[in-house]
């Protein structure tokens, strides 16, 4: 659907396919993947609307970004990017982004634009990614500080991924050079996520949804001088067989009271907990620590060691 001028009301976004490592060679460009919300910014003669990837209208949620887009030197434009927040150290923080939905505007909130789909009567979706980005860079030159051009590197995606990981960022997106913009998930866009891994102590588990016989999630923590500190639950990464084996093992360690310094919040547990003696450690892969000291996107990787 298009407006009266030909500017689309909304374009189904192109999505990246998750891969374990970035593609090789100079036929690809690589961008930093910001840990934010995917937003399509639509400008039509000073009027701006911000849409999520599912076409929810989030214009009112990010007034500072809306105002910045309205000041761009264009009559009509359709940008693709992410709204994210940088903390005082320059690191993108998903936690700070949540404040925007509580009526706050964090100082580091900005729109990181990585594609330009339409500009002043020209539909750019069939143009190569390099041309679209060149025009986007020109459009954003001298723009409001809330708008950032998402730059890229040609080739050497592995080096960029390592650099991004060292900065504690989420990962990178690799895009095939010379390609048009295509709605939906595509192999010409690929995302590679950074991972962290550590050993954590199991202090309990929850029941699975549906058929009994395994576990729903492992309740984990890390040791400190004060005792065992709760840091979340791990509910993915184990097969049905491993889940059943873990349950049998943990039932042999059952205790009446939680082994953590403080009882884990019920809202975090999400089910009836079974507490266990904290002697079992597991290896967990995760993306980052939250501001509350929890694990984000944890995945069970196996048993670590028993003490």
Instruction: Point out the catalytic residue in the list 33, 175, 191, 233.
Output: 33
Q: Is 195 a catalytic residue?
A: no
Query: Which DSSP string do the residues of 271-294 spell out, in sequence order?
Result: S-EEEB-TTEEEEEEESEE-TTSP
279 contacts 253 by C-beta, under 8 angstroms: yes
270 contacts 206 by C-beta, under 8 angstroms: yes
Q: Report how far residue 182's alpha carbon sits from residue 174's, in angstroms, rounded to the nearest whole number.
A: 15
| DSSP structural state of residue 47 | E
Q: In what order do the strands lie in the sheet with 14-18?
A: 14-18, 184-193, 171-176, 28-33, 153-154
Query: Which DSSP string do the residues of 194-244 spell out, in sequence order?
Result: --EEEEEEEEEEEPPSSSSSS-SEEEEEEEETTEEEEEEEE-SS--HHHHH
Q: Report how far residue 76's alpha carbon sits from residue 64's, in angstroms, rounded to the nearest whole number.
A: 19
Exposure string of 163-175, with b = 16+ CB inside 10 Å and e = fewer, is ebbeebbbbbbbb
- Both tokens of 141, joined, read 């030159």
174 contacts 22 by C-beta, under 8 angstroms: yes
Nearest to 38 by CA among 64, 63, 12: 12
Q: Indicate which residues carry an active-site annotation.
A: 33
């Amino acid at each position: 659907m298009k407006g009266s001028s030909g500017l689309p009301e909304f374009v189904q976004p192109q999505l990246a396919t998750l891969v374990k490592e970035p593609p090789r060679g100079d036929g690809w460009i690589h961008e930093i993947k910001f840990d934010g919300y995917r937003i399509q910014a639509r400008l039509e003669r000073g009027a701006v609307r911000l849409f999520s990837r599912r076409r929810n209208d989030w214009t009112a949620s990010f007034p500072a970004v809306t105002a910045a887009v309205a000041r761009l030197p264009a009559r009509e434009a359709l940008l693709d990017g992410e709204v994210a927040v940088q903390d005082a150290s320059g690191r993108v923080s998903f936690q700070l982004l949540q404040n925007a939905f509580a009526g706050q505007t964090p100082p580091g909130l900005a729109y990181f634009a990585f594609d330009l789909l339409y500009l002043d009567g020209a539909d750019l979706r069939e143009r190569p990614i390099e041309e679209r980005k060149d025009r986007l860079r020109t459009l954003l030159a001298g723009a409001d500080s809330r708008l950032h051009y998402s730059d890229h590197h040609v080739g050497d995606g592995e080096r960029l991924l390592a650099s991004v990981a060292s900065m504690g960022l989420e990962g990178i997106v690799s895009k095939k050079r010379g390609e048009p913009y295509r709605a939906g998930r595509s192999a010409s866009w690929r995302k590679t996520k950074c991972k962290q891994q550590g050993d954590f102590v199991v202090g309990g588990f929850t029941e699975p949804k549906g058929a009994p016989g395994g576990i729903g999630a492992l309740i984990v923590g890390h040791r400190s001088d004060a005792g065992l500190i709760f840091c979340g639950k791990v509910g993915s990464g184990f097969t049905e067989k491993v889940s059943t084996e873990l349950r049998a093992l943990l039932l042999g360690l059952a205790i009446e009271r939680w082994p953590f310094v403080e009882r884990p919040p019920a809202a975090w547990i999400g089910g009836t907990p079974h507490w266990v003696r904290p002697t079992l450690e597991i290896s967990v892969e995760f993306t980052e620590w939250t501001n509350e000291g929890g694990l984000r996107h944890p995945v069970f990787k196996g048993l670590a060691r028993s003490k």
